[in-house]
Amino acid sequence: MATQLLMPKATAVWLVDNTALSFEQIAAFCTLHPLEVQGIADGDVAAGIMGVNPIQNGQLTREEIEKAEADPNYRMKVSDPKVRVAAAKRKGPRYTPISRRNERPNAIKWLVRNHPELKDAQIMRLVGTTKSTIEAVRENTHWNAANLTPMDPVTLGLCSQIDLDLEVKRASKGAVATEELTEGTMLLTAEEALARAGGRSSEEAEGDERGDEHRRAPEAAEAFDADSVFSKLKSLKSDSDE
C-alpha cells in the first residue's frame, strides 16, 4: 500500500525544475492545486524552499517519471516504502469525536459487563474516558445510570476491533500469570514433597507404607514363634539331663 508523500511542496519544486511533467501531473502526485504548481514554476509560490528528490527518498522511480512524461494523462503513484517504520505509540487516552462522546458511558457499561478482566487503564485507552467515569458506571452511580444501555464500542466507532482484541488478550495473559504465581507460592507437605520428588503421588506413598507394615507383621510373628520353640526345646533338654 502506497504511503503519503513526504514534503509535497519541496517535491513539487524538484519535479518542476528537473522533469517535463505537466502542472496537472505534478499537482496530482503532490496533492496540490495546479495553480499552486504553476505559481511554483513562476517563482511566486514556495520561494526559498529547496527541492527534494523523490527518487532518492524512495517515493518515486525514474521509470514512473518517464512513463508520465510520455503520457500526459498518466498519473504517477507513490512507491511502496522499502523499510516499514513502526508507528509511534499513542500516549494518553484515545481522542473521541464530539459526536460520539455521549456514547462513552454505554460503551463502558458494555466493556464492564462483557470483559470484567479489563483494567480501568485499558478501558480508558479504548474509549478515551476517565477513571471516575468508569467507577461511576461500574457502581451504577452515574448521573445518567437509568438510561445507560450496554453498546459495543467497536460498533459505536470508539475503538477498532483489533485494539479491543489486543486489550482483552493482554488482560487474559495477566490473569493467567497471576493464577500461576498464586499456585506457585503454596507450600507442600513433607509427604507431598517426597512423593513428588520420587515421581509418585501421596496416595501411592501411603499405599507403599501400608504394604511395608503388612509385610513386617508376618516377619515379626515368625520371629516370635521361633523363639518360643527354641525355649521349649531348651526346657525339655534340661529335664532330660536331670
- In tens, the pLDDT along 15-26 reads 999 999 999 999
This prediction's pTM:
0.39
- Does residue 1 fall inside a structural domain? no
Which range is least confidently modeled, 57-66, 102-111, 193-202? Answer: 193-202
pLDDT at residue 66, as a whole number: 93
Query: How would DSSP label each residue in 212-242?
Result: HHHHHHHHHHHHHHHHHHHHHHHHHHHHHH-
Backbone torsions φ then ψ of 20, nearest 5 degrees: -105, 25
Higher pLDDT, residue 118 or 238? 118
Domain check: are 120 and 179 in the same one? yes
pLDDT(39) > 60: yes
- Does residue 160 fall inside a structural domain? yes
- Does residue 129 fall inside a structural domain? yes
pLDDT(207) > 50: yes
pLDDT at residue 186, as a whole number: 56
The domain in which residue 146 lies consists of 98-184
pLDDT at residue 133, as a whole number: 92
Domain check: are 109 and 53 in the same one? no
194-203 mean pLDDT: 54
pLDDT at residue 175, as a whole number: 62
Q: What is the pLDDT of residues 156-196, one digit of tens each?
A: 888 888 888 999 998 888 665 555 555 555 555 556 656 56
pLDDT(237) > 70: no
Higher pLDDT, residue 130 or 209? 130
- Does residue 103 fall inside a structural domain? yes
CA angle 184, 190, 191 (to 5 degrees): 105
pLDDT(86) > 60: no
- Does residue 90 fall inside a structural domain? no
- Does residue 230 fall inside a structural domain? no
pLDDT at residue 22, as a whole number: 93
- Does residue 237 fall inside a structural domain? no
Domain check: are 112 and 173 in the same one? yes
The rounded percent of the chain whose pLDDT value lies above 70 is 62
* Per-residue H/E/C for 60-121: CCHHHHHHHHHCCCCCCCCCCCCCCCCCCCCCCCCCCCHHHHHHHHHHHHHHHHHCCCCCHH
Domain check: are 104 and 171 in the same one? yes
- Does residue 88 fall inside a structural domain? no
Domain check: are 179 and 113 in the same one? yes
106-128 mean pLDDT: 91
Domain check: are 159 and 123 in the same one? yes
Domain final position from 184, 211, 235: 184
pLDDT(69) > 50: yes
pLDDT at residue 1, as a whole number: 43
Are residues 123 and 175 in contact, defined by beta-carbon separation less than 8 angstroms?
no
Domain check: are 140 and 179 in the same one? yes
When divided into structural domains, the chain yields a total of 2
